[in-house]
Structure 1
Amino acid sequence: MKKALIIYGSTTGNTEDMAGMVKAEFEQADFEVEVKEVTQAAVADLTADHDLLLLGCPAYGDDEIELQEDFAGFYEKLNGIQLNGKPFAVFAPGDSTYEHFCGSVDMLEDKMNDLGGKMVNDGLKIDGDPTDAEGEIETWVESTAASVG
């Protein structure tokens, strides 16, 4: 069975809800899924024995992208690790009225690529409440799961 690790940060609960939905869908795709809230995760978790890394982080800020406060500290500790082609994908709920709608997805994809990760699917950006986007989440998980060798 393939293993996935979801690390997420959440302030309002939307990203936590989304992480739970992503977990359930990956379990339907026969993955064993571990979920960690970012304050309970260590950077070393990214290099552990998982077939897929999934990062969930909302973004804030009008003038520039600001990661969710708990995730920002984790992000700052990422420099120096080597992902050596480890498959990853990123997801976030957001609000499309902001200039940098789900900018955290782009920011995390760039960082993970810089660290040698292998992006297996475009990031999932949900506008508003993730519980209103079950079909979109299901489709994204199916294509992400299928791209993990």
Structure 2
Amino acid sequence: MSKTLIVYGSTTGNTESVSDDIAKILEKNGHSVEIQDAADISVDGLADQFDTVLLGCSTWGEDEIELQDDFIPLFENLEQAALKGKKVAVFGCGDSSYEYFCGAVDVIEEKAGELGAVLLGESLKIDGDPEPEEVSAWTESIMTKM
């Protein structure tokens, strides 16, 4: 059975809700899932006991890409998370009226790739309120690669 860690940073609750929805779909399909709020975790060896790591972060800021506050320490120390060779996917919520729509997703995905993570496919970028069908379709697509 595949062990998956979902780590999210959420201010309004949307990214947390998406994390819960992803976990339910994975568990329904036989995966063991642990969900952690980025505010409550230690980065050191974060991925050690997991086959797959899903990272969720909302994006803030009009003039530059700003990660959700709780996710910043994780991002800044991501090299300590032991992502090399791990299957990783990234998701996040944002607002397409901003110049850097879901820019946090892009920078997290790029850094994970630079650290040797195996990216599972296209990231999930949610515009506004999460739609269950969108989350479900994305989760099912990455599940085929887990």
TM normalised by structure 2 equals: 0.94
Render the CA deviation track for 1:43-76: whole Å, top value 9, x for unaligned.
1353322111000000111111000011112211
| Letter of the 2:142 counterpart | T
Q: Which runs of 4+ in 1 moved over 2 A?
A: 44-47, 79-84
- Residue 117 of structure 2 corresponds to which residue in structure 1? 117
2:88 and 2:120 in contact (8 A); partners too: yes
2 CA distance for matches of 1:142 and 1:44? 29
| 1:63-82 equivalences in 2 (<5 Å) | 63-79=63-79, 82=82
The answer to whether the aligner puts 1:126 opposite 2:136 as a matched pair is: no
Letter in 1 for 2:136: E
1:80 and 1:34 map into 2 onto residues whose CA distance is: 19
Equivalent pair of 1:81/1:115 in contact (CA under 8 Å): no
Taking the TM superposition and a 5 Å limit, the aligned residue runs for 1:27-38 are: 27-38=27-38
CA distances 1:65-120 after superposition (whole Å, capped 9, x unpaired) = 00001111221122355422110000111111011111111010011011110101
Query: What percent identity do the matched residue pairs reach?
Result: 45
Structure 1 range deviating more: 79-88 or 113-122 = 79-88
Q: Given the superposition, is the C-alpha separation of residues 102 and 39 from structure 1 closer, same or farther in structure 2, using an over 3 Å criterion?
A: same
Give 1:5's aligned amino acid: L
TM-score, with structure 1 as normaliser: 0.92
| Equivalent in the alignment of 2:142 | 144
After TM superposition, the structure 1 = structure 2 runs for residues 1-149 of structure 1, keeping only pairs within 5 Å, are: 1-79=1-79, 82-130=82-130, 133-148=131-146
RMSD between aligned residues: 1.3
Structure 2 counterpart SS, 1:92: strand
Cα gap change, 1:45/1:16 in structure 2, threshold over 3 Å: closer, same or farther? farther
CA contact (8 A) 1:46 1:53 kept: no
Larger deviation, residues 103-112 vs 24-33: 24-33
Gap change, CA 1:81 and 1:5, over 3 Å in 2: closer
For 2:126, the aligned partner's letter is I
- Report the AA paired with residue 36 of structure 1: Q
In structure 1, give the amino acid aligned to 2:16: E
| Whole-angstrom distance in 1 between the partners of 2:26 and 2:44 | 22
